[in-house]
Structure 1
């Protein structure tokens, strides 16, 4: 056992021993002074704690000090009645403190007891009882809050364990304080009874045993008993006050002294009201004006100094707040983490294009971005992330760039004081301007000024203002890279939205048959071929139908495309429900089907270089012919090879649409304008 533990045990044993064994007056003086010192230490510690748990030993300490005080009462009572003395400390309190008057001493003693018993002890007892009750009642809610934070990843398992331990310790502490406060109440009652017994016992012993007169016995034993009571009750009053401070102490960043100073001085203007009230009392009451006015002046001066100090501090804080915040941000580890954040979409522009983004200069780019996000949501069924718009002095004045996940995917250059005139196919020599290329679709165009604009319109040119050029380019870039913008978190949000109205299909599919990541891959493949995923319910139902049969993402995507046949048909057919296509010939179908290799890792198409070059050139020539005639090129194949043809052409002809017969509705009229064969 450690020496500190042994010393506490010895102290408790000695308290019990001194109740039985008579102690000399000198030793009593030492123990009384120790009791006073201990009570002062306890109240000072209580005032300097920031929260109750920092003084968690207080309930046990309260019981030990009460036992020590009662042991001193027994020892001093024995000494007073036996030796007619309680030591110098008791005699000093009985004569000097109360002026040697038994009546004054008795009154002072009773006032101290009443203050302790009716005010401090009773209030502390009630506060401890209420605090214990509310702490126990709030435990389930606090535990649920900890579990919720842990489940959301806001805290670690270690932090959750510490917070649970703190809640348990708070409940134990306030429960212990509720019980310990009863001992303080009993100690106050015992102090009154012991003092009365001392006075009555002293009178009887003085008159009967020591043959004193009644007056002499009353003078001697009453003063000694009152001195003993004061010596006991003053430390008891200090400890009771400490108990009240501890149970009423709210959690704070400072101790009691700093909190009182800071919070009372937080409103210096209120002290002017106090000073004015004191001045009115001096004027309208008989109280000596020279007694009150100096105090009022002192309060007003304190208010003035505090007000000046508060204003100066606020000015300094306002001047340095931004710099300090920026400096701390740079010093903190989180500042490095912020640098790792990559925006999903970024639009950067040179300083010359600031007017299109600045509302004060009439720019409406932000409003256009909002409309772009709404348009993409309707067309493709995805929620476009927030687009970060900012200027970049490293770009040329009229240049802009578009980034996806931090990588540049497109750029352009516009002239704010011109209009973009897109050629109708046959150029007019009378229309002059700065030659350029329309950034979204790569068509030849001219930048024309205001004077040339009307003539270009009459010549059939499509006239587009600079903000529309930018918004159109941004829209097409988002369409082209939509599959890169949909991650697992975005897919989960979309699925949760479907779950609100159709929970059955979601619960059947996820996570029993497919994971969020697998569904994301299917949606990415659809978006990559510009197939809208807005009808997500049909997609999930199709996956639920076929996911039990195969885990091949490519094959599942084909099944989903067939389920979306009506949507795909309407997307590519014209108003007369006629679809002009390039058809894959029998030789191409056979060659591709024979070149599909099936492995455990999946199926892939393996063609020799010569055959690959032939297929590419044939399809490319026919696609260019269709584009020249103003028809969107579409390659139509059988369902068995569609995905392999698409994978083959993906790198060389990414904008070529590849459809299968199963993806078209029966009422769609198909017109074959070309056939791709190998011979």
Structure 2
């Protein structure tokens, strides 16, 4: 039977939305449709029970968020009381009675003296209107303002805890949601408290109308004497006012309790008990003062003596509990120290990771914090997830998680991109503006902030949103602030990908394909090459923008040539030749033609004779004037082809390719150097220039 009742109650709670909707509509109906006295009695009892329930809920709630519907509930209960007032007024003025509840309140409180009842009613209204409601309204107003002002700081604190690892993403989302709900609650309470004040004023007006209207109507229409009408309608009016204002006072008190509460993990009574009676010194002094009053002639002895003895006993018990708690705390501390010593080695090992730098991190000024808000549809975290997926498909690497931190030492709109704790890129964003990139004109005809596009170094300008459409129509490339940062981050990560590929990352890549290609891995590592030697080859490939997503071909090539040489540079050249189509593909034009800049044979011979090996790789040791002439020739040819929009690479013999790339990598980082062995036989080669020295 209990199970059946529980199931029916669960279905009832699921239909609460419909029931509440009917209740609100019924309130409006009560204003129009006359209620019989027995139904009015039932509704008045419901009103009293509802107000007591709300008061008790506020006393036992731990925070305002546990009763976030209170502002809306305050409006509904106010309308309910006013509807009951109208219904009772209709009965009083038409039939001269308003049910047993109002009559009972009138006789119980006022007795046979109408003046006493009227005075009590006025006192209740004054207490509610001038003390409770006025104070609660002021507290709500101040709390709403302070909560709104503190919101950015609390948001930054949540982000700082998330970035430092003190909380996880789910906890951070919950805290942000609670912060937003708390702000909305105090804002709603600021307005909702006006309902209670208006209800009190309306109660006074309705009471006066009941009294005057009832006397006038029944003395004129029913031939009732003035004193008789005053006695009858005075009692009914006082009873009606008390039945209405007492529940209103309870809800006003509940409102004041709720908005004046500070956050705690326990109910109001538990907190008060701990804070009010927790000091044994205070309780002993209170006991002494009360007993002193008890022995002074003229003061009532018994009340002061009983309370004084109770305070003394309470102080003594509190003192004993403190001593016991101190002893337990000391024992727990000794146990903790013992456990700490036994775990010292483990804790030392765990603490090592706490001060290690993040592989990748983005630090933003406080003005850019909104772009990291995960509650928004378009946020930095979502874009970072996309970048990590793209890197795995396009480069074949698994990027480490990217840490986002707010840095108060940065300017509001600045950001830094760090690789292993070192700043490798930085920029500036304006969240209220758009970046327009120069389409080739000499200047910008807009009122904005001149800058450089951070990812590619192009001339650009930050303009207001009002100029966005005009810039788009004139052919400028218009970029949103978040896209600027994401593009810069992606380009930086791609250029630094070889730095991010450590032994641990290589091991993860190998483990990812081991189930399907375990044979080649078992053959290669560790019998032919060590993990670190494989890592060096993969880093060399990434350094020249060659993806390593064809990991099987790379490993098979290393297995083929690893027995003949362990030199990473030479092994890289073998791998490049095996990946020839992958190497050449990005440099083909729309017709599939590879346009190359060749090197004069005499210059190639000169470079070949001067190559020297070092730990950093091969490099030609040339005379300074020869290097200058070589660089000038490359610069002239390269710039000319760039201006013409011709995609091209530098083509050399296999013997000098790595040395030549090392030589020009600093001055021409984006100029690819390919060898003849890396070009497939079916690819058409077209010479567009020649380098000489």
**Please, what TM-score do these two structures have when normalized by structure 1?**
0.51
- Correspondence 1:253 to 2:265: yes
Structure 2: 5+ residue stretches without partners? 1-11, 354-402, 404-417, 427-454, 458-491, 504-538, 544-564, 575-609, 618-693
* Inter-CA distance 258–213: structure 2 relative to 1 (3 Å threshold): same
Structure having the higher Rg: 1
1:92 to 104, 121, 125: 104
Flag the 1:225–1:342 CA change in 2: closer, same or farther, 3 A.
Answer: closer
Structure 1 residue 144 displacement after superposition: 2.8
- How far residue 78 of structure 1 moved from its aligned partner, in angstroms, is 1.1
- Structure 1 residue 601 and structure 2 residue 558: aligned? no
CA gap 1:257/1:601 in 2 versus in 1, 3 angstroms: same
Once residues 336 and 566 of structure 2 are traced to their aligned partners in structure 1, the CA distance between those partners, rounded to angstroms, is 67
Q: What is aligned with 1:142?
A: 154
What is the 5 A alignment of 1:109-188? 109-188=121-200
Which of 30, 36, 53 lines up with 1:41 in the alignment? 53
CA-to-aligned-CA distance 1:536-561 (integer Å, 9 cap, x gap): xxxxxxxxxxxxxxx869x9xxxxxx
Alignment correspondent of 2:350: 341
Cα RMSD between the aligned structures? 4.4
How many angstroms does 1:326 deviate by? 7.7
Give the aligned partner of residue 469 of structure 1.
none
Alpha carbons of 1:325 and 1:599: their partners in 2 closer, same or farther (altered >3 Å)?
Answer: same
Alignment of 1:16-31 (within 5 A): 16-31=28-43
Q: 1:328 to 1:169 in 2, by over 3 A?
A: farther
Separation in 2, partners of 1:142, 1:597: 52
For residues 292-320 of structure 1, the C-alpha deviation after alignment (integer angstroms, 9 at most, x for no partner) is 22222222222222222333233334334
Structure 2 residue corresponding to 1:75, chosen from 79, 87, 94: 87
State the distance in 1 between where 2:55 and 2:153 align. Answer: 33
Calculate the TM-score normalised by the size of structure 2: 0.50
The correspondence for 2:313, drawn from 301, 304, 321, is 301
Residue 238 of structure 2 corresponds to which residue in structure 1?
226
Q: 1:205 to 1:39 in 2, by over 3 A?
A: same
Q: 2: distance between equivalents of 1:118 and 1:328?
A: 59
Question: Counterparts of 1:595 and 1:264 in 2: how far apart (Å)?
Answer: 78
- CA separation of 1:326/1:215 partners in 2, compared to 1, >3 Å: closer, same or farther? farther
CA–CA separation in structure 1 for the residues paired with 2:616 and 2:224: 124
SS at match of 1:599: helix
- Measured in 1, the distance between the counterparts of 2:307 and 2:616 equals 96
Equivalent residues, number: 394
Residue segments in structure 1 that go unaligned for 5+ positions in a row: 345-488, 500-506, 522-550, 556-593, 604-637, 646-679
> In structure 1, how many angstroms separate the alpha carbons of the residues matched to 2:301 and 2:237?
44
Distance in 1, matches of 2:500 and 2:419, equals 12
CA deviation vs aligned residue, 1:356-381 (integer Å, no higher than 9, x gap): xxxxxxxxxxxxxxxxxxxxxxxxxx
Distance, in Å, in 1 between the alignment partners of 2:117 and 2:256 is: 26
How far does the alpha carbon of each residue in 1:166-192 deviate from its partner, in whole angstroms, 9 at most, with x for none? Answer: 222111111111111001110011111
Counterparts of 1:127 and 1:178, CA distance in 2: 8
1:147 shift after superposition? 3.4
- 1:531-585 superposed Cα distances (whole Å, 9 cap, x missing partner): xxxxxxxxxxxxxxxxxxxx869x9xxxxxxxxxxxxxxxxxxxxxxxxxxxxxx
Question: In the alignment, which of 274, 278, 281 is matched to residue 290 of structure 2?
Answer: 278
SS of the equivalent of 1:19 reads helix
- Residue 248 of structure 1: how far off its partner (Å): 1.1
Conservation of the 8 A alpha-carbon contact between 2:498 and 2:540: no
Are the structure 2 counterparts of residues 170 and 595 from structure 1 closer, same or farther at C-alpha, using a change threshold of 3 Å? closer
Distance 1:644 1:60 in 2: 72
CA spacing shift, 1:112–1:517, aligned 2, 3 Å:
same
Asked if structure 2 preserves the Cα contact closer than 8 Å seen for 1:275 and 1:300, the reply is yes
Q: Residue 250 of structure 1: SS of its match in structure 2?
A: coil
Q: Judge conservation of contact 2:31–2:86 (CA < 8 Å) in 1.
A: yes
Please tell me whether the aligned partners of residues 540 and 572 of structure 2 are also in contact (alpha carbons under 8 angstroms).
no
- Is contact 2:105-2:239 (8 Å) kept? yes
Distance between the aligned counterparts of 1:255 and 1:111, measured in 2? Answer: 31
- Residue 210 (str. 1) matches residue 222 (str. 2): yes
The equivalent residue for 2:23 is 11
Q: Shift of the alpha carbon at 1:255?
A: 0.8
- Greater shift in the superposed pair: 76-85 or 594-603: 594-603
Contact (CA 8 Å) 1:492, 1:516: kept in 2 or not?
no
Closer/same/farther in 2, CA of residues 231 and 307 from structure 1, 3 Å limit: same
